[in-house]
Amino acid sequence: MTLTNTPIIFVPGLFGSMSNEIIPGTGDWSFGIAKVAYGQFIEMLELMGFKLNKDLFISFYDWRKNCSDSARNYLYKTIQRVKAKTHSKKVNIICHSMGGLVTRAYVQSNYYNDDVNKMIVMATPNTGSPPNFSYWTGGKLPSDTGKEFDMVRAYMTGYLAILSEIFRNDPIEGIHEEFPGLNDIIPSKQYGDYLFTKEGVDITQYKLQCHMSTQNTFLNELNENINIIKQRNIDVTVIAGIGEETVEALQIIPSLSNEKWVDGKVIDLKKTINGDGNATLRSVFFLDGDKYTVNGTHIEMLYKSEPILIKKLK
């Protein structure tokens, strides 16, 4: 097997980067607690013939910040360093989950430097993900016994609990102040309506997104200009995980005057198996490209995509 000579940059997902910059005392940039997921993936790429810091690089970033900020101040700078070190005019990017939105924010930007050859986008919620609305507006998700353990949900719950402890007087304001990146992954208008109320057993009424206070202006704009990726002749591969119960909509009730829930209090979850447990298939596949599905969770699909990566990186 002959692999491409173009260097690869891997952009991890939410909670996939850690450093003193994010939490003092955690050291230089690394995967942090997400090494259990991403360390094995990097090892898989190395077994495919790539060598870390030679033709395989990692673009860590501060996931608390807006994706546009992460694109300009982290990914863009990483690409410039990699091009200088490898003397390559272009790079290939493999990105997972939120990392795909950071990558899109760069390649769709007005400072894009025509330096991305291929994008392999894995499990990225290109139109957002409903649970993030609940985290953003209420600081939590209703208790869910559908799965024994979900790594991303566990990290989210733990981090929001820390913020709530720090900002006891107003935990939601604390989330909005310290974690604006979370707003970038709530559903965009391209996702469609995702909040609903029930009247009796059979009547379900969806709340129109255009009537909601909570909006994802970042993804709305990014998706309105999605065709720019094709215009810039970037080879795009999109890989989605399926077969796992994934939240596709949220049941709400009117919130009380003393509650912080905006647009309604989330009380239940509507699920589909057309997803990886975190991102729905239709959200991932909103992005045009050569599309593949693999059976597995948001993390498992990284390893199960090996045959696709081998094919795409030849």
Whole-number Å distance between alpha carbons of 198 and 267:
11
Q: Would you state the structure tokens that stand for residue 133, as one six-digit string?
A: 């609305």
Percent of residues, the chain, with pLDDT higher than 70 = 96
Q: Please report whether residue 1 resides in a domain.
A: no
Q: Give mean pLDDT, residues 6-12.
A: 97
H helices present in the chain, as ranges? 35-47, 67-70, 76-86, 98-107, 131-138, 151-166, 171-178, 217-224, 228-231, 281-284, 300-304, 306-312
Mean pLDDT of all residues in the chain? 93
Side chain identity at 210, as an amino acid letter?
Answer: C
Side chain identity at 33, as an amino acid letter?
Answer: I
More confident residue, 187 or 171: 187
**pLDDT for the residue 310:** 95
| Helix, strand or coil, per DSSP, at residue 20 | coil
Q: Would you state the structure tokens that stand for residue 6, as one six-digit string?
A: 């173009």
**pTM (two decimals):** 0.95
**pLDDT for the residue 168:** 86
pLDDT tens for each residue of 29-82: 999 999 999 999 999 999 999 999 999 999 999 999 999 999 999 999 999 999
Q: Would you state the structure tokens that stand for residue 236, as one six-digit string?
A: 């795009």
- What is the DSSP-derived secondary structure letter of residue 30? B
- Contacts of residue 111, defined as CB under 8 A and 6 or more positions apart, other chains included, come to 72, 76
Side chain identity at 70, as an amino acid letter?
Answer: S
**pLDDT for the residue 1:** 44
Residues 97, 13 contacting (CB under 8 angstroms): yes
How many folded domains does the chain comprise?
1
**pLDDT for the residue 152:** 86
Residues 103, 121 contacting (CB under 8 angstroms): yes
**pLDDT for the residue 30:** 96
pLDDT tens for each residue of 192-219: 999 999 987 777 899 999 999 999 999 9
In the predicted structure, residue 241 carries a pLDDT above the cut 70: yes
Q: Please report whether residue 67 resides in a domain.
A: yes
Q: Please report whether residue 148 resides in a domain.
A: yes
- What is the DSSP-derived secondary structure letter of residue 209? G
Residue 250 structural domain? 8-312
In the predicted structure, residue 148 carries a pLDDT above the cut 90: no
Q: Please report whether residue 130 resides in a domain.
A: yes
pLDDT tens for each residue of 79-130: 999 999 999 999 999 999 999 999 999 999 999 999 999 999 999 999 999 9
**pLDDT for the residue 169:** 85
In the predicted structure, residue 28 carries a pLDDT above the cut 50: yes
In the predicted structure, residue 270 carries a pLDDT above the cut 80: yes
Whole-number Å distance between alpha carbons of 285 and 307:
19
Question: Among residues 150, 152, 123, which one has the least CA distance to residue 281?
Answer: 123
Residue 258's pLDDT band (boundaries 50, 70, 90)?
low
Q: Please report whether residue 3 resides in a domain.
A: no
Residue with tokens 């094919």: 311
- Contacts of residue 238, defined as CB under 8 A and 6 or more positions apart, other chains included, come to 121, 124, 284, 285, 287, 288, 289, 290, 291, 292
Q: Please report whether residue 180 resides in a domain.
A: yes
H helices present in 87-239, as ranges? 98-107, 131-138, 151-166, 171-178, 217-224, 228-231
Kindly report the CATH number assigned to the domain that includes residue 285.
3.40.50.1820
Q: Please report whether residue 234 resides in a domain.
A: yes
